[in-house]
Amino acid sequence: MTIRSFAKINLGLRVLGRRADGFHDISTIFHRVELHDTLHLETTDGKVTLECNRDDIPVDDGNLCVRAARLLLAQQRGRGVHIVLQKNIPAGAGLGGGSSNAAAVLRFLPKLLGQHIPDGELLEMAALLGSDVPFFLQDGSAAARGRGERLTYFVWNCPWWIVLVNPGIHVSTAWAYGALRLEAQPEDPDLQALLERAVRDPEALATLLRNDFEAPVMEAHPGIREVKEAMLRAGAVGAMMSGSGSSVFGLFDNEAAARTCAAGFPPGQLLGVTPPDFSPVLLQRNT
The boundaries of the domain holding residue 80 are 2-154
d(CA 249, CA 234): 12
d(CA 93, CA 210): 17
**In the chain, how many domains are there?**
2
d(CA 231, CA 247): 12
190 given a catalytic annotation: no
Is 49 inside a domain boundary?
yes
Last residue of a domain, which of 136, 154, 172?
154
Q: What is the pLDDT along the chain (287 residues), one digit of tens a residue?
A: 999 999 999 999 999 988 888 788 999 999 999 999 999 999 998 899 999 999 999 999 999 999 999 999 987 777 899 999 999 999 989 999 999 999 999 999 999 999 999 999 999 999 999 989 999 999 999 999 998 889 999 999 999 999 999 999 999 989 999 999 877 666 778 999 999 999 999 999 999 999 999 999 999 999 999 999 999 999 999 999 999 999 999 999 999 999 999 999 999 999 999 999 999 988 876 54
CB atoms within 10 A of CB 189: 14
User: Element (H or E) spanning 50, and its range?
Assistant: strand 48-52
Selected catalytic residue, list 37, 132, 212, 228: 132
53: phi then psi, degrees, rounded to nearest 5: -80, -5
| 86 and 144 together in one domain | yes
| 17 and 132 together in one domain | yes
| 105 and 231 together in one domain | no
60 given a catalytic annotation: no
Strands 161-165, 270-274: pairing is: antiparallel
Strand runs labelled E in 88-224: 141-145, 150-154, 161-165
d(CA 184, CA 131): 23
d(CA 174, CA 129): 15
Helix (H, G, I), strand (E, B) or coil at 16: strand
What CATH number is attached to the domain comprising 243? 3.30.70.890
| 142 and 188 together in one domain | no
| 45 and 27 together in one domain | yes
| 150 and 256 together in one domain | no
Selected catalytic residue, list 8, 37, 87, 212: 8
| 45 and 149 together in one domain | yes
pTM of the predicted structure, to 2 decimals: 0.93
What CATH number is attached to the domain comprising 96? 3.30.230.10
Is 280 inside a domain boundary?
no
